[in-house]
Copies of this chain bind each other. A is one copy, B any other.
Amino acid sequence: MTQAPVQTPRLFRATDPRTGAFVGPEFAVTTPEELDAAVAAAARAFPRFAAFPPEARARFLRRAAEELRADEEEVVAVAAAETALPEARLRSELARTTGQLEMFAALVEGREWLDARVDKGDPERKPAPKPDVRSLRRGLGPVAVFGASNFPLAFSVAGGDTASALAAGCPVVAKAHPSHPGTSAAAAAAVLRAAAATGMPEGVFAVVYDDGIEVGEALVRHPGVKAVGFTGSRGGGEALVRLAAARPEPIPVYAEMGSVNPVFVLPGATAARPKDVAEGLHASFTLGVGQFCTNPGVVFVPQDRGGDELTERLVKLTNGTPAGAMLNARVCQAYKRGLEELERAGARRLAGGATGEGPNDGVAALWEVALEDLAAARELLGEVFGPSTLLVRYGEPDELPAVAAALEGQLTATVHGEPFELEPGGIADALFQVLVDRAGRLIVNQFPTGVEVGPAMVHGGPYPATSDGRSTSVGTRAIERFTRYVAFQNFPEALLPPALREG
């Protein structure tokens, strides 16, 4: 056998989005051999990891949270340099990340997520004896997790997908987002230290790097990978779905691809509290330079005095919004193109924030269009990822349910109204009867940004908000995505999984 030629690894570096300058060390793009070794190790680790008692997996997750917290200063500093997100935001995102790890630790210890069922046999049953059948959830196998650009911690290497997959007993191979490799490396180091400290099998967790798409594609194609978690753009998510479907053994892809998160402001709300609604909206669509999947991108506002007041207030707030560095040059360029497309599609620019000095600054933008012009320009309902929102001015609330019925799948849909509008049989009721089949989360008189992490949260939604609208990527229910059911028929007690035994 001849040895393969030694290749110089391709190197890349992160960029500080505020300056465009390189920051941090060079990272080597993971080679095909390294990727293969990582997935092979994950596949070898899977049976042992899945067989560990829940308490052992819980210890691992809790320790990962501790290790992350121990590195807080370093992680926050690196993430701030790589993403331009403010320190306070990164600290709270780190707390959310550790909270998620701990939430899943408690969940696996509780065992309810297993949905263990025992249906005892009856050899005397007529006409045929009844077999003893027991079943529970089991992890699918190694999971590929794609880090999101906009949540460098909570939806990245040690984020929600990783926490829920590990909790389910699935090893994880995480693909670092190319714009924050240093943050990814720091988070991965914390998880790997936790794995070693708690005696997890070699290969239970790995991180791979790329500044392009080859490594991610190879990961999704790899026969050892059994499911994919992704948060990002529609183009990226759909590409992974296609790759996964074309495998000899297709695998599930959970791609969260974003949405415009429509907000319907009813006339009662604009009459009673136009400024409050305007301020809430402004805070929501400009939060984090508008870089949230739940950013309210389309707001239906009545053509009345209250609607005008709301609009005036929004104009003022938007005009006074400072520019902010976006996550990376690609996000910033896409945002600028999105604004151009809104204009080309007929949206009228009502207000714009201050322009910045930085090469990747996102400038807030407020747009308006009349409802009757929307039907001819459906591209106005496409997601513009950044601090922009489009006001759609409508005449009568009765027009809204038909508008809602024409919407694509959304992560969220929100209605603002006064109590008289929120009665059964009222306009909000009519709207929600349509929206319930078009969004993963329905909201009354609050705003879609700020996703509560808990047992009841649904962060998902019909296509194209996600590629698999049956599930959620946030909250305890997320563990279900990386599991399947297995039944055990007529098993001797000693060979049953512990959760299915009599004891």
A-side interface residues toward B, CB under 8 Å?
A: 46-47, 51, 92, 117-119, 127-128, 130-131, 133-135, 138, 140-141, 241, 245, 249-252, 408-409, 419, 422-424, 428-429, 432-434, 436-437, 439-446, 450, 452, 454-458, 460, 462-464, 467-472, 477, 483-492, 494-495
Contact = CB atoms under 8 A, between A and B. Distances in A.
Contacts of A140: 469-470
Contact of A470 (B250, B428, B458, B483): B483
Nearest to A48: B433
Specify how many copies of this chain sit in the oligomer.
2
Contacts of A450: 128, 131
Contact of A443 (B409, B433, B489): B489
Contact of A409 (B249, B252, B457): B249
Nearest to A468: B252
Contact of A463 (B131, B250, B452, B457): B250
Given A92-B127, A423-B494, A440-B487, 9 more contacts: A47-B434, A130-B452, A131-B446, A245-B245, A250-B463, A252-B470, A452-B489, A460-B484, A472-B487
Nearest to A227: B470
A452 B92 CA distance: 50
A475 to B, nearest CB: 8
A252 B467 CA distance: 10
A423 B493 CA distance: 10
A441 B487 contact: yes
10 contacts: A47-B434, A47-B437, A92-B127, A133-B456, A134-B456, A138-B437, A140-B470, A422-B492, A460-B484, A477-B485
Nearest to A463: B249
A352 B141 CA distance: 41
Given A127-B92, A429-B495, A450-B128, A486 B442 contact: yes
Contact of A452 (B131, B471, B472, B491): B131
A444 B135 contact: no
A463 B248 CA distance: 9
A-B residue pairs, 5 tightest by C-beta: A458-B487, A119-B456, A117-B456, A441-B487, A443-B489
A134 B452 CA distance: 11
